[in-house]
Amino acid sequence: MSYVGLNAVFLGLAALVAAVALWRRPASRRLYTASGVALAAVLVLTAVFDNIMIGVGLVAYDPALISGVFVGIAPVEDFAYPVAAALLLPAVWSLLGGDTRRPPTGAAARHAARAPAPPAEGQDA
């Protein structure tokens, strides 16, 4: 099996889980922003460290199994794994419950901002 075929399987599964998560629990803009920033960071790290590992001979690829498209000396197929992770991890987090805290709104938020903290146990008020 070529790397493109293997990547298609993993990306397809990650996209399916992400679609289910989005359908069951629509995500907030904050989750999309965080996922996008994480994806950008991981793609940059993948580009840097894959090129280093290939350059020093730690990893080699069969030219018959890759597409021939490269980022530096790293085959573009290597970048499917960070994309799959950026799709899959937030989706699984969301499906498992995610951040269930809700920020206070309206009068409750104004009251919480003004209310003094209660004294610690054993201290007089």
CA angle 66, 7, 75 (to 5 degrees): 35
pLDDT digits (tens, 9 = 90+) for 58-110: 999 999 999 999 999 999 999 999 999 999 998 898 889 876 666 556 666 66
pLDDT digits (tens, 9 = 90+) for 30-68: 778 888 999 999 999 999 999 999 999 999 999 999 999
Contact partners, residue 36, CB within 8 Å, separation at least 6: 86
Q: Is the pTM here over 0.85, yes or no?
A: no
The DSSP secondary-structure symbol of 77 reads G
What's residue 22's pLDDT?
87
Separation between Cα atoms, residue 8 and residue 108, nearest integer Å: 48
Could you tell me the residue ranges of all domains in the chain? 3-98
- pLDDT reading at 13 higher than 70: yes
pLDDT digits (tens, 9 = 90+) for 16-33: 998 998 888 877 777 788
